[in-house]
Structure 1
Amino acid sequence: MSVVGSYLKKHTEALVKDVGIEAACELTGKSKATLGRYYSSHDEHLDRFMPIDAVAALEEASSYPHVTSALAELKGNTINHDDRRRNSEDTGGVNADVIALSQRFAVLMAEYSQSIEDGIITVSEAKRLLRETVALQQVLVDMKLHLEEETV
């Protein structure tokens, strides 16, 4: 299987598991077996991928746009997914962003240090690192927005 195909199947599986298999069946009108084929790495299913309308339906119900994000990453892009609740008043500004950036980076480095301690980064450790990386990325986006506000 190609690296791209494997990557997309992995993210398709994450999407289905995020929504839940039963809910995914209801949302897409597909059976458990059919959904399983979309992320199966068995030879007979290598050319099967989830239709885009099914991806859209599942991503609407999911906590994160797994497949859309994977497609963006394959093209060298990122998407901004912000599930935080913002206050109506944002008083932090760039100085607060710099502090938050420093704190997030410290947390990421601590997670990395702990994860690599035994020489192996497990799946759960990788997920923690990914969460911290996304949080760090969000601080950078906030900082960018604050800087853009100051230049207007």
Structure 2
Amino acid sequence: MSSFGSYLKKHTEALVKDVGIEPACELTGKSKATLGRYYSDHAEHADRFMPIDAVAALEEAASYPHVTSALAELKGISLSYDERRRNTDDKGGVNSDVIALSQRFAMLMAEYQQSIEDGVITVNEAKRLLKETTALQQVLIDMKLHLEDETST
């Protein structure tokens, strides 16, 4: 088995154990044995990997996107994990996104203006700017997803 295969299997196991074996079976529609094969390091299961729809279902229920982050790491990509959990689904769509986008941009500009006031951006100010930039990026991602939803229906 290649090194990346072993790495993915370890993260697949972590994902299943994070969710719990019984709930993982229910979410994926797979048996315990099948899920076990997806993370087994035995040679006979070396070419078996969890289907992406099953990974997505489990990562939705998990405390952390184990497999997605492993794939990103293998490609040298850094992910920004958004820990926010909304109380309700956002039904506002693109219009709500445009409002959120303008509000987030205003907050970023206010933070920037305050940070640059003395001519120097300190480490703490840079961290606050980065946090606002990441929040703005998340609004853009939400907007992209809403636009894709609207064009597919």
Using the size of structure 2 for normalisation, the TM-score is: 0.59
2:87 aligned with 1:98, yes or no?
A: no
SS at 1:80 equivalent: coil
Structure 1 residues 29 and 142, CA, compared in 2 at 3 Å: closer, same or farther? same
Shift of residue 80 of structure 1?
1.4
- 1:36: which partner in 2? 36
What 5-or-longer segments of structure 2 have no aligned partner?
86-102, 116-120, 136-153
Contact 2:59 2:66 in 1 (8 A): yes
Using the size of structure 1 for normalisation, the TM-score is: 0.59
SS at 2:77 equivalent: coil
What 5-or-longer segments of structure 1 have no aligned partner?
103-138, 147-152
Structure 1 residues 29 and 100, CA, compared in 2 at 3 Å: closer, same or farther? farther
Larger radius of gyration: 2
Structure 1 residues 60 and 97, CA, compared in 2 at 3 Å: closer, same or farther? farther
Aligned length: 110
What is the alpha-carbon root mean square deviation over aligned residues?
Answer: 3.4
Contact 1:97 1:142 in 2 (8 A): no
**Runs of 4 or more off by more than 3 Å in structure 1?**
88-97, 99-102, 143-146
